[in-house]
Amino acid sequence: MPSEERFKKRKSESKPVLDEYFAWIESLNCLVGSNLGKVVEYSINNKMGLLGFLNDGARISTNILEGNIRKFVIGRNNFIAIDTVAGAKASAVGYSIVITARENKLNVYEYLNYLFQELPRRRKNKTEPILENCLSWSASLTQACYLKE
């Protein structure tokens, strides 16, 4: 269904159920630290996040994220050379940079090329922030970093 219709359905069908749930959960008087107490505390502390989907009609899906993680898990079998914690951390950072660049519609090769040229220059120049403006969502990246349409 279209996002607008999904948004209306969430407001008319999901919101009343959640309002009733939170009214009930907030009325409970349970032992702090008990399993039920932990559930109640979690629900109350995360109420805004749990209700977040009501503010939007977008589909709720983690498919893109799971697909990105799957690539790493499949590649893990090829990481025989990574036998230290530092190597694993470096691998995770590298994957994170590449996946984040892809999600921000960057040409990964050009973006990495830009980083490898720009970051050493910034480390020498103490007046300029090192990472700021180099992050994959920064508006100040060169046009070469972006995918061509």
In this structure, are residues 110 and 145 in contact, taking their beta carbons and an 8 Å threshold? yes
The total domain count for the chain is 2
Residue 77 has what pLDDT? Answer: 67
pLDDT tens track for 104-148: 899 999 999 999 988 888 777 777 677 878 888 888 888 889 988
Could you give the CA distance from residue 2 to residue 74 in angstroms, rounded to a whole number? 34
Residue 38 has what pLDDT? Answer: 94
In this structure, are residues 67 and 106 in contact, taking their beta carbons and an 8 Å threshold? no
Q: Are residues 131 and 84 in the same domain?
A: yes
Domain holding 127, by residue range, is: 63-145
- The whole-number average pLDDT for the span 13-20 is 95
pLDDT tens track for 107-119: 999 999 999 988 8
Q: Are residues 67 and 139 in the same domain?
A: yes
Average pLDDT, the chain: 86
Q: Are residues 9 and 44 in the same domain?
A: yes
In this structure, are residues 112 and 97 in contact, taking their beta carbons and an 8 Å threshold? yes
Q: Are residues 102 and 136 in the same domain?
A: yes
Distant-in-sequence, close-in-space partners of 68: CB < 8 Å, separation ≥ 6: 99, 102, 103
